[in-house]
Amino acid sequence: METPKWNTKLLSARNVYEPAEDTFLLLDALENDIENLMKINPHIILEIGPGSGIIIAALASVLKSRVQCFAIDINPDACIVTRNTAELNNVTVNNTKKYVEVLNGNLLKAFQLRESIDVIIFNPPYVRTVNIETFVEGISQSWAGGENGRKIIDDLLPVLSKAISLNGVFYLVAVSYNNIEDLFTQMKVFGFVGKILKSRQVPGELLYVLKFKKTTS
């Protein structure tokens, strides 16, 4: 997959998280796993918290003839940026079909949880913060994760099984202090089996991309 174009000036003006090491690790992991992803023949792909929008734009560029891509972000400015990134990479509209539909909302609350989403991708706010309630708007929403950086991740996990289709997959970015082993344990409780898809040491932290599938698939 080619790295999509994005508008750095727009990101700065809108106070939206610019692509960084975690973004590019996720992009590399998805590129390495694209054949496996295509084998499940996904019809609906959702990215939670797209920020700059380059991840969902990259997938839409590869899969646009066969899937509907959604991106949902709690930050309305990130929604504006994601739409712009889709436009820059020509994955917005073909005739009457939108390849990337951008929604302003929190996690999965805008969706009916009917096991209909084939792929969910989440690069969450994973940075440890003493009091997450102080980071309630703007760019801080993209990184503030509460104690152990798990607050937003743990909010999402219990509802995943109701959203993801039987053969669907979930890609999650995490950092070492998020307690990777416990994430696997918790996901097993919720009906998923997982593995480390890719990892990368960057200054100050060890990043992971985790991949989960339903144990019933």
Domain range annotation of the chain: 8-214
Write down the pLDDT at residue 134: 46
Phi, psi of 156 (to 5 degrees): -80, -40
Continuous H helices in the chain? 8-14, 21-32, 34-39, 54-63, 76-88, 151-163, 180-189
DSSP state of 3: P
- The residue whose two tokens read 């972000």 is 73
Write down the pLDDT at residue 2: 85
Who has greater pLDDT, 205 or 149?
Answer: 205
Nearest C-alpha neighbor of 196 from the set 186, 205, 183: 183
Q: How far apart are CA 58 and CA 152, in angstroms?
A: 24
Q: Is the pLDDT of residue 144 over 70?
A: no
The lowest-confidence range among 13-27, 63-77, 152-166 is 63-77
CATH number of 8-214: 3.40.50.150
